[in-house]
Each structure stands twice: as structure tokens, then as C-alpha cells.
A = this chain, B = another copy of it.
Amino acid sequence: MTTYTDRQKEIIDVSINIIAEKGIQQLTIKNISKSMKISEPAIYRHFDGKMEILLAILLNFKEYGHSISTDVTSKKLTTIEQLESVIMNHIRQFTAKPALAAVIFSEEIFQNDKRLAEQVRAIMQTNQSMIINIIERGQQTNEIRNDIPAKHLSIMVMGALRLLVTKWRLSQYSFNLQQEGAELWRSLNLLLTA
């Protein structure tokens, strides 16, 4: 479990915001330092280089996903409730910090570099495993329909969530994600339990 200094956390945060607002191409050391009102060389006190910052952003997401996962499965909930919790947790996070949405579902951003791409793949894998796991348990207890493989159901659930968030972002956050998310979940619920 990597821990970061306050300054490092600040850099990660500022970087996510820059990516969200202006795109990856504008994530430059100059822009980071300008946002933080410090000089450019100062950044190198805290990270060895730009790549390390990007890696830190990804590790940040990894641990955040992990925390949601353990949080959910520790409680005594039905599998449907667990799914709902995971999805609505995510949506709450995005609403609170839209910048997150711009980065977390934009794997393309990190395809530049082997190490980053591998991290991205790992994170996605982890998230999907968690969802599949919940769904499979639901299918065992007949809470969730059995006629469709858990893998496909997870693709639909995650895919729908991702697309909703992407549309929200591309629309420049012009609709109420929390509300639309809740409605989408209701529909997903219907599908899963039919």
C-alpha cells in the first residue's frame, strides 16, 4: 500500500483535474506547477517525473476501487443490494468529483506507455472480477437470473454505467447523474432479476 505525502496527493489531485478539464495533452509539468502556484522544478522534489505522476494517478484509482469493493462485501446485503451499492457509490463519487469520471473510464489516455497500459488493464480486470463475483453469487442464490452468463451480465451492467457517465461528461455534466443513474439502475435491476 503506497502512501503519499500531502504535496504528492495535491499533485495527483491537480493532475486529475487538468486531465478532466483540458485533456491529457494539457497535463504538462508547467500546467501542474501553475495550478499549484509553485515552480516547475519543485514538482521533481515530489515525483521523479511525469510518468511517476501518471502511475500514481492509476494506483490511486486502484486503491479507491479496492476500498469500494471491501466496503460493500463486508456488509450483510443481498447481491442485488451489493450491486446497487457498488454502482451508486461510483456515481456518488463521480458527482462529487467529476474529474474522476473523465479519467477513470478513459483507458485510452494511458495507452501511451507499457507500464501504464498494464496498470489500466489490471484495474479493469479487478473491477470486473468483483462484479462478476457478486453476480455469480446472486445466480447461485437465484436472486439473479441464471439464463445469461455472469460475464455477459457484468459487461452489460458495467458497460451501461460507463456509457451513462461518458455521456454525462461529454454533455458537460448537463444532466443530473445521480438521478439518471438511479433510474438506470432500476432498469438494470429489472433485467437482472426478471
Residues of A within 8 A of B (CB): 22-26, 102, 106-109, 111-112, 117, 120-121, 124, 147-149, 152-153, 155-156, 158-164, 166-167, 170-171, 183-184, 187-188, 190-191, 194
- Cβ contacts A to B, 19 pairs, < 8 Å: A22-B112, A23-B108, A24-B24, A24-B25, A25-B25, A107-B166, A108-B109, A121-B171, A124-B167, A148-B187, A152-B187, A155-B164, A155-B184, A156-B156, A156-B159, A159-B159, A159-B163, A160-B160, A191-B191
A154 to chain B, nearest CB (A): 9
Question: How many copies of the polypeptide does the oligomer hold?
Answer: 4
Grouping DSSP codes into helix (H, G, I), strand (E, B) and loop, the A interface class, with mixed when no group exceeds half, is helix
Enumerate chain B residues within 8 angstroms of A121, measured Cβ to Cβ: 170-171
The listed residue (B124, B148, B158, B191) touching A148 by CB distance below 8 A is B191
Enumerate chain B residues within 8 angstroms of A164, measured Cβ to Cβ: 155, 159
B152-A183 in contact (CB<8A): yes
CA distance in complex: A184, B159 (Å) = 12
The listed residue (B124, B155, B162, B187) touching A170 by CB distance below 8 A is B124
CA distance in complex: A124, B164 (Å) = 12
CA distance in complex: A166, B121 (Å) = 10
The listed residue (B108, B158, B161) touching A108 by CB distance below 8 A is B108
A25-B159 in contact (CB<8A): no
CA distance in complex: A10, B109 (Å) = 25
